[in-house]
Amino acid sequence: MDPHIEELLGLEAVRTRAHAVLKLAEQRRLNHFTYHPERMEEAADYVTKLIQRDFGPDKYHTIPPHGRWQHFEVGGVPRIATLLAQWDEQKCDTTEKTRRLIDLFFVSVLLDAGAGDHWKFKEPETGIMLNRSEGIAVAALHMFLNGDFAGQDSPVKHTANGNALRNISVEVLSHGLQVDEANPMVGVPARADILRKLGESLVNLKDIFGPSGRPGNLVDYLNSKSQDGKLDYKDLWNVLQRLLIPIWPSDRTHINGQPIGDAWPLRVLAEQEGAKSKPYSNIQPFHKLTQWLAYSLMVPFTRLLSVSWSNTHLGTGLPEYRNGGMLVDMGVLELKPEALKRGLSLSGGSLPSFGAGDDEIVEWRAMTVALLDELHKKILVRLDGVELSLPQVLEAGSWKAGRELAAAKRPETKCSPILNFGDGTLF
């Protein structure tokens, strides 16, 4: 593989290039945003107080990493615990239970890239009405329990495999998500297409996922590479990139015909000194959905198999609309007048909107990655001795802050202060 492409597929480039954008922001060289560093202190205070409110003074150690598990517990319903108890009755051992959770988490996360402001899911048993990430999680869980991801020929309903996924239809997905004209969701056909391509990719990687293309076989693959009960996050990352790069929409960035996933040209990087002498130095990678999947998949390994991980520090903050929206709502980032005018003209409404690959969105996301690192440092100082990982700060702090600020400032939609024309697979 071209070493430049290999670099863009790795995690280190996400962080180093985002911090290069932050350095340019400090020099007031951004094209679309004004950076107000003095407002980072207020943002850090706000996010720290949320963490203290929900986990202080002695529950910080209970904060989970930002991932899928806790979405299944929305409304105080112990859905995963109930599922594990059912599997105990079926005489599943711990490894098989972990495989099944990996099956579920894989499909659930890849369905979730923003549901829009209007979609809701009503859980049949509880009658609870859910929306956004938690709603998609619970809807995916019920599809999983129904065997929608296992296929009709599978003797076990509670699983997933490549053959079933590559044949899933928009109709099956719409039914499982309760989508209709009165309950619309952004990008359902694109989500179905992602699942079909995931199925193809799983089947093609028999060395990892076996002849059936089962996501849960990742457990066996990674366990075979473990060292003294410790798994390497790099191994997980490399598997996910190998699996997922072929499934993303074809209109994403390519280099010499090779797709590079959630990585985009960014004008401000092209304008930095020496950029023209370094191939592809104008590309800002994110791999957001893959990173969120990686964070999510780590948890079943840790909780059920009691393994630990090395190299987890390579993961970055997630450049999505809750974290980025928090920075805009707190005044840390402000759209420049010309960018705001363009965004409003594109949206035709009261909030600016851009395409997911537009330079404004890519610049916003790059700043979000870098500023989440800075926010993490400031929060640790404020918590004085409490050790929290970046994924824990994302979960209990920045992502939650983005959601709560949106609800307070835009109660009718609870949406981000900047919108994007997404396809349901990215942001």
Domains of the chain, by residue range, sit at 1-66+254-427, 67-224
* Cβ–Cβ under 8 Å, residues 231 and 301: yes
- Residue 349 is predicted with a pLDDT of 86
Greatest alpha-carbon pair distance for the chain in Å reads: 63
Question: How far apart, in whole angstroms, are the C-alpha atoms of residue 182 and residue 70?
Answer: 28
- Provide the 3-class DSSP secondary structure of residue 354: strand
Nearest-5° Cα angle at 72, 70 to 78:
95
What are the residues whose beta carbons fall under 8 Å from the beta carbon of 351, sequence distance 6 or more? 343, 344, 410, 415, 417, 418, 419
Radius of gyration in angstroms for the set of CA atoms belonging to the chain, rounded to a whole number: 21
- Residue 420 contacts residue 347 (beta carbons within 8 Å): no
Residue-level pLDDT at 344: 97
Please list the ranges in the chain whose pLDDT falls under 70.
113-116, 422-427
Q: Residue 227 has what pLDDT?
A: 87
Residue 252's pLDDT is 86
* pLDDT tens per residue across span 16-70: 999 999 999 999 999 999 999 999 999 999 999 999 999 999 999 999 999 999 9
Bridge pairing between strands 353-355 and 258-259: unpaired
What is the model's pLDDT at position 278? Answer: 83
Cβ atoms of 418 and 328 closer than 8 Å: yes
User: What is the per-residue pLDDT across 95-138, written as a single tens digit (0 to 9) for each?
Assistant: 999 999 999 999 999 998 666 678 999 999 999 999 888 999 99
- Among residues 379, 367, 405, 266, the alpha carbon closest in space to that of 25 is found at 367
Would you state the pLDDT for residue 113?
Answer: 67
Coil, helix or strand at residue 35: strand
**Whole-number Å distance between alpha carbons of 362 and 365:** 5
Q: What is the pLDDT of residue 133?
A: 86
- Nearest 10 degrees: Cα torsion 209, 212, 217, 218: 30
Residue 394 to residues 51, 259, 289, 328, 371, Cα–Cα distance (Å): 10, 28, 14, 16, 12
pTM for this structure? Answer: 0.94
pLDDT score at 426: 61
